Structure 1
C-alpha cells in the first residue's frame, strides 16, 4: 500500500482522537471548569453531533479548493480550535471549540477518504478506504487512554496542546508529501437528492447507522459489562481496551480487503452476518471470563469492517454521487453512535447490562435485512420521484 495512504490515515487518527479524548478525563475537566460531571460529559455529545451535522456540508468545499490545500486548511483550523480549548477560560468557550474541532475532523475524514480512492488503482480502492478507517477506528478506541496519559502528565489543558502539536506535525508532512489533487464531482443539493433517489444507497446508509448503533449499545458500557457480567478484574480492564483497540484497527483494513476480494455487494451481505454471529456469541458466552476476550476481539474487529465495505459499495453503485454519499455516511456513523449509546442506556435502565448484546443483535438483524435488499437488482430505485415531463 502506498505510504502516503498511511499518512492520510494518520491525519484521520489525530483529528478523530478529539472525539473521545475527553471521556477518560471527565472528572478533571469538571473540576477544572467548575461544572457538574454530567455537563462536562456533553463535550463528547457536542462533538458527535457537530461531526454529524457538518459532514454533509464538507463536500461543498471539495470543488472550490485542491484537496491537499483543503486538507492542510482543515488541519490548521483543527489545531487552532484545540489551542482555543487549551486556553479556554470557561465551559462555554471550550464547548464552542469542541464544535469547531468536530467540523474540521469531519472535513479531514472526507478529504482523506477521497484522496485515498484517487491515489490507488481501482482494484485497491477498498483496501485504501480500509486504511483510512483504521485511522478513524483507532482514534475512537485509543483516544481515551491517550487522553488519560496526557492528562496525568500535563493536565487537561495539556491534552489539547498535545493535539495542537500532533496536528501541526501532520500538516507540514502532508503539505510536502501529498500530491495536489483536484476535487472531483461538483457537489450541489441535487447531488444529495440523486443519492437519496436510490433506495439501495439509502439502505446502505441505514446499515451503517444500525451496525454502529449495535456496536455502541455494548461498547459505550464495555467497562461495567466486563466487570459485572464477565467478571473481569478491574486491573485487567486496560488490557481489555488495548486488545479491543487492536482488533478494531485491524477490522478497518480487513473490511477494505474483503470488499476488494469479493466485491462490495458480497461484502455488504457477509459483514453484517458475521457481526450478528459475534454479537450472539458475546450474548451467549460473554459471561464466561475465559471466552470474553476472544469473543470481544472478534466482535470489535468485525464491527469496524462495515465502514470501508459501505464506502466501497457507495463508490461502486453510486459513482455519480460518491462524494455526497461518503459525506452522508460519515454522518450516519455518528448518528449510529448517538442511537446506540441511547439504546444501551435505556436497556440498562429497564433491564440489565447482560441484555445490551441482545439489543445490539436486534439492530444488526435489521441491518442484515437491508443488506439482502442491497445485494439485489442493478437498477437504482427512486425514493424521490423523478419529475414528470409534460407531453
Structure 2
C-alpha cells in the first residue's frame, strides 16, 4: 500500500476528531461560553449538517482546482477554524468556527478518499478506502478520549489548540508528500446521472439504512451497556474502547472483503452478517460475556459497510464515482440522524428494544442491497452484450470488405 494513503487516513482522523470532540468536553465548553448544555450540544449537530451539505457541493464549486491544491486549502481552512475555536469569545463565534471546521472536514475526507483510490492499484482500491475509514472511526476511538484528557490538563481551549497543531503537522507533511493531481470533471449533471442509476441509488440507500440501524443502538450505547449488557459504570469507558477497536478494524475488513470477493457480493454479504449480529443481541440478554462478544462483531461489521458501498459505487459507476462518493458522505450523515431519531423514540419505552429497531432497519438495508446487487448485475450484462454486438458487427464488416 502506498504510504501516502496512510498519511491521507491520518488527515481524516484529525478532521474527523473535530466532529465529536465537543461530546467529551461539553460541560466545559458550555461553561466557558456561558450557554446551556442543550445549546452547546448543538455545536455537534451544526457540524453534521454542514458536513452533509458540503460533501456534494465541494467538488462542483471547486472544479477548476486540482485535488492536491484543494486538499491543502481545505486542511488550511480546518487549521484556521480550529485555532479560532480555541480563541472564541462567545457562542456565536464558536458556531462560525464549527461551520468552517465542518466544511473543511467534509472536503478533506472526500478528497482523501479520491486521492487514495488514485494512488492504490485497482485490486487494492477497496482496502485503500477501508484505511480512510479506519482514520474516521479512529477519531471516535482515540480522538474523543484524548480530548477529554487534554481538557483535564489545559482546559477545553487547549483541546482545539492541540488539534490545530496536529492538523498543521499533517498539512506540512502533505505539502511535501502528496503528488500533484489533475482537474476534476465533476458537475451537477454527474450527480443527476448517478442518482438516476438504479444500482447506484440503491447503494446510497444501503448506506443510509445501515448507518441508521447502527446509530439506533450506538447513540444510546452507554445506557445500553449498563442496563442491558450488565457492564459496571466504571467499565463503560473500557467497553467503548473495545467496541471502538472492533469498529476501526471493520473499516479495513470492509475494503478487504470488497477486493477479495467483489463489490457486488460484499454489498450483499455485509448487511446479511450485520442483521445476524443484531438478531443475536436480544437472545443473549442476561449473558454479559456472550452478549459483549456479539457486540464486538456488531461494531466491526457496522464500519465495514462504508468502504464496501463506496467500492461498489466506484466499480458500478466509474464515470460518476466522484459524485457518488461525495453523495455517500452526505448519505452517511443522513443515516446518523435517522438512527438517532428512531433510537430516541425506542429508548423512551424499552432500552432493550434498541437492537430490535436496529435490526428492522438493517433488514430494509439487506433488501435494498439485494436490489442493488441485481440491478448492477443487469447493467453488467447489458454492457457485456453491447460490447459483443459491436465486436460481431465489426467482424461482419471486415468479412464483407
Whose radius of gyration is greater, 1 or 2?
2
How far apart are 1:352 and its partner, in Å?
Answer: 1.1
Which residue pairs with 2:394 in the alignment?
A: none
Which runs of 5 or more residues in structure 1 are unaligned? 382-391
How far apart are 1:293 and its partner, in Å?
Answer: 2.4
SS of equivalent to 1:179: coil
Structure 1 residues 122-271: aligned runs within 5 Å: 122-184=122-184, 186-271=185-270
How far apart are 1:261 and its partner, in Å?
Answer: 0.6
Which residue pairs with 2:49 in the alignment?
A: 49
Is the 8 Å Cα contact of residues 198 and 380 (structure 1) preserved in structure 2? no
Counterparts of 1:143 and 1:282, CA distance in 2: 28
Structure 1 residues 1-391: aligned runs within 5 Å: 1-61=1-61, 63-184=63-184, 186-349=185-348, 351-377=349-375, 378-379=377-378
Counterparts of 1:145 and 1:345, CA distance in 2: 24
Counterparts of 1:195 and 1:123, CA distance in 2: 23
How far apart are 1:18 and its partner, in Å?
Answer: 0.5
Over 6 Å off, 4+ runs: none
Is the 8 Å Cα contact of residues 247 and 297 (structure 1) preserved in structure 2? yes
How far apart are 1:380 and its partner, in Å?
Answer: 5.2
Is the 8 Å Cα contact of residues 60 and 188 (structure 2) preserved in structure 1? no
SS of equivalent to 2:231: coil
Counterparts of 1:146 and 1:241, CA distance in 2: 14
Is the 8 Å Cα contact of residues 213 and 359 (structure 2) preserved in structure 1? yes
Instruction: Give CA-to-partner distance per residue, 1:221-268, whole Å, 9 cap, x none.
Output: 111111111121111112111111111110000000000010100000
Instruction: Give CA-to-partner distance per residue, 1:160-216, whole Å, 9 cap, x none.
Output: 1111001100000011111111134x1111001100111211111011011111111
Number of residue pairs aligned between Structure 1 and Structure 2: 379
How far apart are 1:144 and its partner, in Å?
Answer: 2.3
Name the structure where helix makes up a greater proportion of residues. Answer: 2
Which runs of 5 or more residues in structure 2 are unaligned? 381-401
Counterparts of 1:274 and 1:23, CA distance in 2: 30
Counterparts of 1:47 and 1:78, CA distance in 2: 12
Which residue pairs with 1:385 in the alignment?
A: none
Describe the shift of the 1:323–1:287 C-alpha distance in structure 2 as closer, same or farther (beyond 3 A): farther
Is the 8 Å Cα contact of residues 255 and 304 (structure 1) preserved in structure 2? yes
Counterparts of 1:347 and 1:297, CA distance in 2: 22
SS of equivalent to 2:63: coil
Which residue pairs with 1:386 in the alignment?
A: none
Q: Please give the TM-score of this superposition, normalised by the length of structure 2.
A: 0.92
Is the 8 Å Cα contact of residues 203 and 371 (structure 1) preserved in structure 2? yes
